[in-house]
Structure 1
Amino acid sequence: MTPLSPGLPGLQYVDHVAFTVPDLDDATRLFTVLLGAEVLYESTRGPDAAVMPEHFGVPADAHLKLRMLRLPPNLNVELFQWWSEDRSPVFPRASDAGGHHLCFVVNDVDDVVAAIGDLPGIDVLGARKEVAGDSPAVAGNRWVYARTSWGLILEFVDRSRVADPPHLVGPADWHAHTPSITMEASS
């Protein structure tokens, strides 16, 4: 396998993204019901004064519960719910340091807007947008942001109208992993 970065020995691929959420059950429902994720496992850690500050960079009283989800066809998502005396309940906005979003390619962004428009816990931000000539490499992209009740921004993008899109990672780059099987001849 070719490494992603020649500067980091042994780097193979991205394994997962992670989000801290205020309610693990609600976030899990969103990812499983709306987005089709599968729960793989869950775990707990802490509080542990010897581990949490050093290995997680959080206060000694911090403890967490996590769930690892498989979001087909190409992403694992880890959801964390943390407890700590000084935990901030505010999710960063897109304009804040640490702000972020999770983007999904869809067949038709208008269909997605119609499907999620009345769902509780998700607000579509504005109307569907289309990238114009000011960004010629992606002119024709149609997209919308939606925000969950806790602040995670989801983006849904339809790239089908882009004339000559840049080579972003996508299905053409995925390779089925086939384990090597060594058969030994019996004597």
Structure 2
Amino acid sequence: MSAPTHGKLARVPGLRHADHVAFTVPDLDEAVRFFVEALGAEELYRSTRGPDADFMPENFAVPQDARLTLAMLRMPPNLNVELFEWDTSDRRTEHPRHSDAGGHHLCFVVDDVDEALAALRSIPGVRVLGDRKEVAGDSPRVAGNRWAYFLTPWGLLMEIVDRSRVADPPPLVGPADWLAAAPQNPRKDQ
């Protein structure tokens, strides 16, 4: 447990935007296949590192014998996902629960939750958690939000959400923001 901080925190200079999220998976090939086939990602590259007794503990906070293979995926229009498969002498295999420290999930906006759930239920190993839910008066700002959680075949918690029924949604980042943030005069050599 960390000590409480007092006073204002320093702002990180030059911080521009999120580049990617990363998840450790038990089988990289299975996870890449799911992201590509079920979620429409594109695999950009793979790389490996380790073991390296000096570098790995210092730069990744993992044991000296740790070895990783990673794949970087692009999920248009706005998300890069990095998937890691680790090999190490003391690797833990259980996922944190949503309520545990380190708990996490990845959420995708869909056009129709019921249609997306039907597709997810047809994928072997996917476990949909309950039925589709709809936000009501407990969160008036997003009332009408339709959502559901599911577990991938290897246990990663994900969510799908349909905000089309929200009357006045909060200013969440979306396609208009991506267009506004695009360079006005993109370089031709990129």
The alignment's TM-score, normalised by the length of structure 2, stands at 0.89
Aligned residues between the structures: 176
Task: Give the equivalent residue in structure 1 for 2:112.
Answer: 108
**CA RMSD, Structure 1 to Structure 2 (Å):** 1.2
Task: Give the C-alpha shift of residue 179 in structure 1.
Answer: 2.3
Deviations 1:56-101 (A, max 9, x none): 0000011100000001111000000001110001111211111111
Task: Give the C-alpha shift of residue 107 in structure 1.
Answer: 0.7
Task: Give the equivalent residue in structure 1 for 2:40.
Answer: 36
Q: Select which of 119, 122, 133 maps to 2:123.
A: 119
Q: Distance in 1 between matches of 2:98 and 2:155?
A: 9
Task: Give the equivalent residue in structure 1 for 2:155.
Answer: 151
Task: Give the equivalent residue in structure 1 for 2:186.
Answer: 179
Deviations 1:44-63 (A, max 9, x none): 00000010000100000111
Q: Distance in 1 between matches of 2:178 and 2:82?
A: 21
Task: Give the C-alpha shift of residue 180 in structure 1.
Answer: 4.3
Q: Select which of 12, 17, 22 maps to 2:16.
A: 12
Give matches, 1:18-167, under 5 Å: 18-167=22-171
- Identity value in percent: 68
- State the AA in 2 paired with 1:104: F
Deviations 1:122-159 (A, max 9, x none): 11100000001010011100000010122211101000
Q: Distance in 2 between matches of 1:23 and 1:155?
A: 21
2:43 is paired with a residue whose SS is strand
- State the AA in 2 paired with 1:70: R
Q: Which runs of 5+ in 2 are unaligned?
A: 1-9
Moved more, 69-78 or 170-179: 170-179
Moved over 6 A (4+): none
CA 1:180–1:29: 2 relative to 1, 3 Å = closer
Q: Is the 8 A contact 1:131 1:140 kept in 2?
A: yes
Q: Which runs of 5+ in 1 are unaligned?
A: 1-5, 182-187
Q: Is the 8 A contact 1:32 1:38 kept in 2?
A: yes
- State the AA in 1 paired with 2:52: D
Q: Distance in 2 between matches of 1:148 and 1:170?
A: 25
Q: Distance in 1 between matches of 2:39 and 2:75?
A: 7
The alignment's TM-score, normalised by the length of structure 1, stands at 0.91
Q: Distance in 2 between matches of 1:11 and 1:132?
A: 36
